[in-house]
Amino acid sequence: MSSLQVRLSSSAPDSLWGSKAPVSFDKQTATIHLSGADKDQTRSIRKAARVLDGMGIEQVQLAGTWSLDQQWAFAGSFTTAKKQNHIQWAEDANQDKLAKMYQALLFTRNLVNRTPEDIYPQSLASEVVNWLSELAPGHISAKTLVGEELKEAGWTGIYNVGRGSERPPVLLELDYNPSGQADEPVAAALVGKGITFDSGGYSIKASEGMLTMKCDMGGAATVSGGLGLAILQGLNKRVKLFLCCAENLISGHAYKLGDILTYKNGLTVEIVNTDAEGRLVLADGLLAAGETGAPLTINAATLTGAAVMALGGEYHALFGLDKDTQVRMQQFAEQEMEPVWPLPLDIWHQEMCPSPYADTANSRPMKGGGAGGASNAAGFLSRFVANSGKGWVHMDLAGAFNNTATSTMPAGATGMGIRTIARALLDA
């Protein structure tokens, strides 16, 4: 199959195409017309890539002069769930870097896009372990706690959220230790929400809200993809990865509204909404991360609809009690062309989900958790982090998934966030 050459130009298109046309054509060449600042140009490239995909173009060759970020923008928007590895990179020094980035992107997207019949708690853990072991043979070790083992070990959040399913919940602890030394300090800990399907439990979602819930393990996929990309880019520091995996389903054994969970740190939590389950499983992962002594902890989750309401689907929300770490993560995201935006988090947000029966509730008993829902969820998580939140950042992945294609992105998982996480790990 022949490839369509795609070039960039700072000149306006011929009047035949219209002065605002994002792309024009000449024989076997498509020209993307750029104007404005770098961010505007990147958006123009994404829009043009979506136009080419919509025309049924299968194979492209990026020709002429492209920066790494320009090629990445095109690839992310041209690549779909059904069409992958159909891009030839521009002939420059960025080819190897892009190939590694693209490998991590495809792993992340494909993991999220697969069906909840294929990706369930144990298969999610296995897929991540297998991929990272292939990238770093001899440097990966992993252990899992499954089903009743979680209850016995005191990981109450993951156990209770997942106990309603016939397929048991799982806590994966993966250790990337390139030095091989048992006493090597852990430079960073990653925690990912791995809800492989979310019915909402007894606080059941409507059908249209449930349709996309295969993506609720997007946090687990994103931190795993970020670690894999960092390894491909030469990461030489020890990192521990914790994936909190469960199916949130309804059965006679499912957890219920009014239940009270007691966590390993002694905190009691009243369940007022079984659809606010992500924070319950992440609490266990954050406690486990705190045990590593890592100076940097990053958790990622498709946690709240409130973050989507605040930021739309093109930014991730960023939270932290440690404002220096939060600002540094925002800078990494900007450098890696992945839009994030900080939302408020102060220590008093821990008080925003009160309970008359427990130390806290897992939400507020109203639609979407009430006003400030994303910040209140972050406040809940902050109760479970070590060192009063120093070195911890929480990413609420508002831009992780599109059920239908947009003007800049295809339908499905975006993979956005893996570059930022990889950059943070390399800098740790």
Query: Looking at the annotation, which residues are catalytic?
Result: 205, 279
φ and ψ at residue 421, rounded to 5 degrees? -65, -45
Give how far Cα 135 sits from Cα of 12, 220, 231, 254, 406, Å.
44, 18, 7, 37, 33
φ and ψ at residue 303, rounded to 5 degrees? -95, -45
SS3 69: helix
**DSSP helix, strand, coil percent of the chain (3-state; round to 5):** 40, 20, 40
SS3 401: strand
Please report the sign of the dihedral spanned by the C-alpha atoms of residue 398, residue 400, residue 401, residue 402.
positive
Q: Which residues pair with 240 in a beta bridge?
A: 175, 189
Among 196, 61, 209, smallest CA distance to 128 is for: 196
Residue with tokens 């440097």: 139
SS3 330: helix
- Cα–Cα distance measured from residue 265 to residue 270, given in angstroms and rounded to the nearest whole number: 15
SS3 5: strand
**DSSP string covering 149-198, please?**
HHHHHT-HHHHHHHTTSSS--EEEEEEE-TT--TTPPP-EEEEEEEEEEE
- Cα–Cα distance measured from residue 275 to residue 248, given in angstroms and rounded to the nearest whole number: 8
Here the tokens at position 248 are 């949130």
In the sheet with 140-146, reading across from the earlier edge strand, the strands are 140-146, 170-176, 239-248, 188-198, 296-301, 392-396, 316-319, 340-342
- Cα–Cα distance measured from residue 46 to residue 65, given in angstroms and rounded to the nearest whole number: 17
